[in-house]
Amino acid sequence: MLAELDGFEQRTTAIWVNKDESKKFWYFFNQHGEMEFSSDAPKYLTSYDAIIPLVQKLCDTHTAFTVKFVRTICMMSGVPLDSYPFMLSYTPSQLCDAVLVATGKAIV
């Protein structure tokens, strides 16, 4: 879901490519049934370097996303809605959750 929001599209069962085909990553299931990604796959759940640019991109292109994202992150942390949350106060995983909720792609 996050890769789609970041401009990637799934080309085959295991290969994802961004729109201008300058970035590509793949995944597979190992012998234990665990999903593994290529080393160049964005690490949205664990890296600020992956999730913050996505949040910035979505905020720059969608005003409604910005409002929903700020509302979601404030509700998650109990911060008043009139304060603007500082993204580094949250883990990359929490930011991912807020992005998915704000875009309506969260699975509940």
pLDDT of residue 71: 87
| Average pLDDT score over residue span 11-15 | 77
pTM of the entire predicted model: 0.76
Region for 82 from its dihedrals, namely left if φ exceeds 0, alpha if ψ lies in -120 to 50, beta otherwise: alpha
Nearest-angstrom CA–CA distance, 73 and 79:
8
Q: How confident is the model at residue 15 (pLDDT cuts 50, 70, 90)?
A: confident
Q: Which residue has the higher pLDDT, 39 or 81?
A: 39
Nearest to 85 by CA among 71, 97, 96, 99: 71
> What is the per-residue pLDDT for 81?
67
DSSP state of 78: T
CA diameter of the chain:
49
pLDDT tens digits, 50-107 = 999 999 999 998 889 988 998 888 888 777 766 666 777 889 999 999 999 999 988 7
